[in-house]
Structure 1
Amino acid sequence: MSVVWLQVSAVALLAGWIAILVGVGRAESRLPLLSMPSDEAVEEVELEKGGNVPATTYTFARWEEMLAGGREACAVIVENGRWSSEPAAYNEFKTLCGDRNLSIVNTEETDWIAGRPIVHFDDPAAMPLLWGEGYYIQLVHGKSLIDLLREAPPFSIIILSVKDDGTQAFNHKWQEQLWECGIRAVTREYLRQSYLNIIWKKDEHSYTSLYEEIAGVALCAQYRVGDRVNDFKIPVHLEISSAGLNCGNNSSIRINGQEYSPNLRGMNIVIYDLIHSEVAAVHRVDTFVCIYEDTAIYRALPEEENHAS
């Protein structure tokens, strides 16, 4: 009887320890003002208007929450090219905006800028236009790449694959924090190059990069179930690839044959939970212009309005 009791106690203690690790959270960090990345070597490129993203990665919930709360004096909203991929939800959102006398504008027809309105948006591709028109950009709601890495569950692998560019938005401050999370090769000197990283998050604060590479050519890696990388046993069949702007412009993260990469510009991120043997989250951060997740909402203030306040 005592042996059985000891075994039960050991299992209970292990379960409690895992629950504590998983439950530890990190406070959401925010920057009040987003500045245009400054780099004389950066040339102009055509901005993307979206791509094929798993439906579960986009929702209007944050917009609805913000409007319902009444905390933002919102009048003009810049359309996101990805909204059309969710037509039913988009139509409901347009109806909501119409009921509240909110205007939805786009970046193709820019007559609305002449009125110098305060605008809200969630498409990072709108940032260069607004910066060029003398707007200051502030984060209203959203998490940074660092937040996403820190909130990944313990005992998980974090897979990163860059499409187009994954470096321009990072300054030295962000690079130091990325280093602590297992991202060490990414610096702005590798503009528009390919990048892959497989990070083992073995506990709340420990990140070990199993494989990291950045280069001016397309990159790919493949692992079968049971393959060992730096003494870590790969639990799934994993096929990943990255191609920067000038060498294919593509991202792919396939786990057990299923594609999970959003395949959009910047860092495409898949988090695989080793405890539950499932994909826990899929993210994209457009690291060409910002360091915040796709569903972040921003406020843009015209220069004169920002100075007046």
Structure 2
Amino acid sequence: LFTKILGQEMVWMFDEVPDDSTVYVIRGRYGKYPNIYAGMPWIRKRGIRCVRSVPKKTNFFFLSRDIEKDRSRYPDYQLNVYRADHKLIDFLRKYLHDTIIISAKDDASQHLSKKSRAFFSQLGIPLTQLKFRDSFACVLDKGQALVWKISHSSPVILVGQPLRNRGIDQIISAGRDTGNTSKIIINGQNVSPDRRGLNIVIKKQNQKIIATFFDTFKQEWNGLAILKAQQN
């Protein structure tokens, strides 16, 4: 019932935050139901408190879609991701048995974490080299780096027989200062989302195509995240 009334995301936040936490839900959103849910015995037992205005002198948790906007909104707090529902590494791990094609646009480096860079390094791609507004493209095939290239000063273009063998005609990446574009051409069609950050196309073994992007200039997750706010 509460999942239907509040939405899965709100119930998810209450379920995920630590015991004895303060949860902040902006006044007016979800009506009175967050407070009602916080009063349920299984929530009260955990010591979770729901507030509808920004609490003072205490850490709190809240839902976010854009951490940079929220950092501007709450300048007195340090914001960190506590949980995220669609994280870059989790997404890539899910499809390591397929063909993963990645093309950067604009900038993909600013909020690409050390953990993510290390993940790519384990697959044979030294993403520690990726700098601000670099061009970068790669293909992962069954968990191994098939081909990759990073450029600090020009677009990256990947072509060749190993790609054609997998139905990939061409991959183009250009950082903001060298063309600002992303193209992933499969069977004559550009399937790249062409958005800032890492544009990712999954070519599954059944030939199904999945296209998405992670704006790693801003953050490493899509959708919603639970942020923890700590006073500076």
What TM-score comes out, normalization by structure 1 length? 0.54
Aligned CA RMSD, in angstroms, stands at: 3.5
More strand per residue: 2
Greater shift, 144-153 or 170-179, is seen at 170-179
Check conservation: 1:167, 1:187, Cα contact below 8 A.
no
Distance in 1 separating the partners of 2:68 and 2:179: 20
> Does the residue aligned with 2:90 lie in a helix, a strand or coil?
helix
CA shift, 1:194, in A, is: 1.1
- Cα distance in 2 for partners of 1:241, 1:277 equals 21
Q: Deviations over 1:8-49 (max 9, x none)?
A: xxxxxxxxxxxxxxxxxxxxxxxxxxxxxxxxxxxxxxxxxx
Distance 1:213 1:141 in 2: 28
Corresponding position of 2:50? none
Distance 1:125 1:179, change over 3 A: same
Match for 1:299 among 217, 227, 231? 227
Distance 2:73 2:146 in 1: 37
Mark the runs of 5 or more structure 1 residues left unpaired by the alignment. 1-60, 78-93, 103-112, 305-309
Instruction: Answer whether contact 1:127 1:289 (CA < 8 A) is retained.
Output: no
| Aligned residue pairs, count | 202
Partner residue of 2:212 out of 260, 275, 283: 283
For residues 149-168 of structure 1, the aligned pairs below 5 Å read 149-154=92-97, 156-168=98-110
What is the TM-score of this pair, normalised by structure 2?
A: 0.69
Q: In structure 2, how many angstroms separate the alpha carbons of the residues matched to 1:258 and 1:284?
A: 17
For 1:218, give the aligned amino acid: P
Give me the whole-angstrom Cα distance separating, in 1, the residues matched to 2:122 and 2:69. Answer: 30
Residue 45 of structure 2 corresponds to which residue in structure 1?
none
* 2:47 corresponds to: none
Identity %: 21
Partner in structure 2 of residue 58 of structure 1: none
d(CA) in 1 for partners of 2:154, 2:211 = 25
State the match for 2:179 in structure 1.
248
| Whole-angstrom CA distance in 2 between matches of 1:262 and 1:128 | 27
Contact kept? 1:118, 1:302, Cα under 8 Å: no
Cα gap change, 1:235 to 1:136, in 2 (>3 Å): closer
CA distance in 2, matches of 1:127, 1:184: 32
Does structure 2 retain, via aligned residues, the 8 Å contact 1:284–1:293?
Answer: no
1:1-309 counterparts in 2 under 5 A?
64-69=7-12, 70-71=14-15, 73-76=23-26, 97-98=30-31, 100=33, 119-126=62-69, 128-129=71-72, 132-154=75-97, 156-188=98-130, 190-201=131-142, 206-222=143-159, 228-229=161-162, 234-273=165-204, 275-279=205-209, 281-290=210-219, 292-303=220-231
Which structure features the higher share of helix residues?
Answer: 1
Give how far 1:260 is off. Answer: 2.6
The one-letter amino acid paired with 2:132 is L
Q: Distance in 2 between matches of 1:157 and 1:242?
A: 18
Distance 1:250 1:241 in 2: 7
CA contact (8 A) 1:164 1:265 kept: yes
**Cα distance between partner residues in 1 of 2:190 and 2:164:** 21
- For residue 151 of structure 1, what is the amino acid of its counterpart? K
